Structure 1
Amino acid sequence: MTSQNIKKYLRTLGRNPEYTDLFNQVTQLNKMQQMLTTSTVIPIHLNKHCQLGQITRGRLTLLAENASVAAKLKHISPSILQKIQNLGWEITAIKILVQKPGHTSSTAISHPAKTFHLKKTKISNAGIECLNRLTLTLPDSELKNSIQRLLKNHA
């Protein structure tokens, strides 16, 4: 399907009353994303470590890359909210969440603006030995199976 056909299809779909709210929300999110990336609402050093979430009932959700970024965003959220309101947005609250990068099995999570790399944890030899001894004392259970899988994957 060519880009012209896609645009025509989306315009037609956008006129359908069932999809009007969805298209309005997408348009609003695109405008908000553009505003956040081109302005100094969020400091540059934090902006590259967060992304826009949803806007629901006047509440803007920001997704932080990690807990440290989330804490900094929460600390300056009153300032962010004020700047957004000064730009004419009807946002009444900001919700900040830490992204959960473990939802994928790969070691890199891609987003249009950034890629998150997951660190593979290392277990010391003493830790492996302790976990092996623990599995010997456990009855057959999900815990025992999980520890055995952990040890197998770590090897």
Structure 2
Amino acid sequence: MSTPPAPSFRSYIKRGKPVAQTSGASDFLRLNDQISSLLPAVRRRLHLQRECQRLMPRMFEYAEVLQLQDGQLTVAVPNAALAARLKQNLPTLQNGLLEGGWQINAIKIKVQVTSKVEKEAPPKQIAMSDSALRAFASLEQTLDPHPQNAGLRDALARLLSRHRKD
């Protein structure tokens, strides 16, 4: 299949005047300038989010820093229960942020219910050695076929199937 020929210079000229073909490029550059002006604010918010997570890791597992404007920090939480717990710990959070150099005069909590709060499954951190796998396989094979051992045999079979290296 052949590619179509590239348009000639003449196809861009209409009645002796060049047709504006740079609107896409200029729009992109204008958008890029707008985005680059937002970058410091985004970096500041992410830095503040990390600082809050460092101070209260359990609370900020689901909470999110929305904005910091005029010394007022706005934090979003997914439910009222977390909002109540965070509200009890606001003095600790505010003092920790002040010690970290953040000028926070007030903290506002917004409950923003999301459709589904889902915690990411942590990656598998344990890898069994070959000798451990052989020991479990041997145990599975040498267990008495008694009904009381059925659950243990099933558990060993599942464990071995998950950890076998293909």
Q: Provide TM-score, normalisation by structure 1.
A: 0.49
The structure that has the greater radius of gyration is 2
Q: Provide TM-score, normalisation by structure 2.
A: 0.46
Question: Which structure has the highest strand share of the two?
Answer: 1
